[in-house]
Amino acid sequence: MTQLKMERTFVLTLTKREFLIVGKALRGTLKPDELQEALALQESLARAKHMVLEQELHESQKLINNIGEGG
């Protein structure tokens, strides 16, 4: 049977402040007042990823429908 494996690469565009928050989060050095900002950034990234995946699903379904219709 045919198998397919997909690997994704994400390209992030961050502001200087967002880059600072990501770096501090990775080092585990966020200050208590930065936690909410980090959580908001995480939610924003998750929503952006979700939108990309929804678009891919839509395009895939469209392809399947077109194949089923013969072209």
| pLDDT tens-place string over residues 12-51 | 999 999 999 999 999 999 999 999 999 999 999 999 999 9
Amino acid occupying residue 3 = Q
Q: CA nearest 9: which of 38, 57, 40, 52?
A: 52
The reported pTM is: 0.77
> E strands, the chain, where?
none
Nearest 5°: phi and psi at 59?
-65, -40
